[in-house]
Amino acid sequence: MKIDLANIAGTPGARGRFAISERIRASEGAACVGPVTGELTVENAGSLLLIRGRLRATLKLTCVRCLSEGEQEMDLEIEEEFASEGAGDDIQTIDRDEPELAAISDYVLDAHEFVRQQVVAGMPMSFLCRPDCRGICPQCGADLNLAQCECAVAPGDERWAKLGELLKGGARRD
C-alpha cells in the first residue's frame, strides 16, 4: 500500500491514521505467517515526520540447533522519524540516494517497504524451538529431541579406550 503524505507534510501539526495489513516476503531464516497488521499514525512535527504505532506479525522461524520450524508472535512498537535530506545520520531521510530502500519517497510512504524494514529489524537474532533444544547429532543428523542416537559413544572415545583396557586385562587373566 502507498500512502500519500503530501497533505500531512505540508501542514505543521497535521496527522493521519492508517490501518496496515501487508504481506511481506520471507527473508533469511524467517517468514511471516499471514499479513503484518496494525495501525500507524503519521504526524507532522514541524521539521520531522513522526511515524508511530503498533504492528503485529506471526513469524515462522527455523531453530538454530535442530533446524525444525516454529512460530513466534511479534509485537512491534513503532517510533520512527523522517526528515528531508540533510538530517543527522540517526534520522531516516525522505529522499535517499537509493530510492528502492527508502520507505518514503516524494512524500509517499511505501507501507510495504516500511513494514518489511520494521519486521526485519525486529526479528530475533537466533531462534530456539524450546530453551533446552538438544539439537541434531553432528554425525548422523538425528534429532536428539526425539531420541538419543547410537553415535553418543563414538569409536576413539576415551570410554571405549577404558573398555579396551579392561578387555585386555580380562584376556590376560584367562
Q: Which is nearer to Zn ion, 2 or 130 (CB)?
A: 130
Which amino acid, 8?
I
Please return the burial class of 20, using the count of CB atoms within 10 Å of its CB with bins 0-12, 13-18 and 19+. Answer: buried
Stretch that binds Zn ion, among 40-48, 55-63, 115-123, 164-172 (CB under 5 A): 55-63
> What 3-state class would DSSP assign to 135?
coil
14 binds Zn ion (CB under 5 A): no
Per the listing, cell 531420541 goes with 147
27 binds Zn ion (CB under 5 A): no
Stretch that binds Zn ion, among 2-10, 88-96, 122-130, 163-171 (CB under 5 A): 122-130
Indicate which single residue of 22, 30, 36, 65 sits in contact with Zn ion (rule: CB under 5 A). 65
126 binds Zn ion (CB under 5 A): no
116 binds Zn ion (CB under 5 A): no
Residue 22 C-beta: closest distance to Zn ion, Å: 29
Size of the site for Zn ion (CB under 5 A): 11
Please return the burial class of 132, using the count of CB atoms within 10 Å of its CB with bins 0-12, 13-18 and 19+. Answer: exposed
- How many alpha carbons lie under 13 Å from residue 22 in its C-beta half-sphere? 24
63 binds Zn ion (CB under 5 A): yes
Q: How far apart are CA 158 and CA 168, in angstroms?
A: 15
- Report the interface residues with Zn ion, using CB under 5 A: 63, 65-66, 129, 133, 137, 139-140, 142, 149, 151
